[in-house]
Amino acid sequence: MKRIAFLLFFFSVLAATEGYAQRFALKTDVVKWATASFNLEPEVRVGKKSTVALALSYNPWTFGDNRKWKHLWVQPEYRYWLCAPFSGHFIGGHLLYTHYNAGNVDLPFGVWSGLEQNRYQGDLVGAGFVYGYHWMLTTRFSLEAAVGIGYGFTRYKYYECPTCGAYKGTQNKHLLMPTRAAISLVYVLK
Q: Which residues contact 176 (CB under 8 A, 6 or more apart)?
A: 149, 150, 151
Res 118: pLDDT: 86
Angle at 90 between CA 38 and CA 111, to 5 degrees: 50
Res 15: pLDDT: 46
Bigger pLDDT: 184 vs 119: 184
* Among the listed residues 73, 175, 59, the one whose alpha carbon sits nearest the alpha carbon of residue 128: 175
CATH number reported for the structural domain that contains residue 138 in this entry: 2.40.160.20
Residue 6: give the domain boundaries. Answer: 2-189
Question: What are residue 93's phi and psi, to 5 degrees?
Answer: -140, 155
Res 18: pLDDT: 47
Res 106: pLDDT: 79
What pLDDT, in 10s, does the model give residues 68-117? 889 999 999 999 999 999 999 999 999 999 999 988 887 776 667 778 88
Q: Tell me how far apart the alpha carbons of residues 82 and 74 are, in angstroms, rounded to a whole number.
A: 25
**pLDDT of 162 above 70:** no
**How many domains is the chain partitioned into structurally?**
1
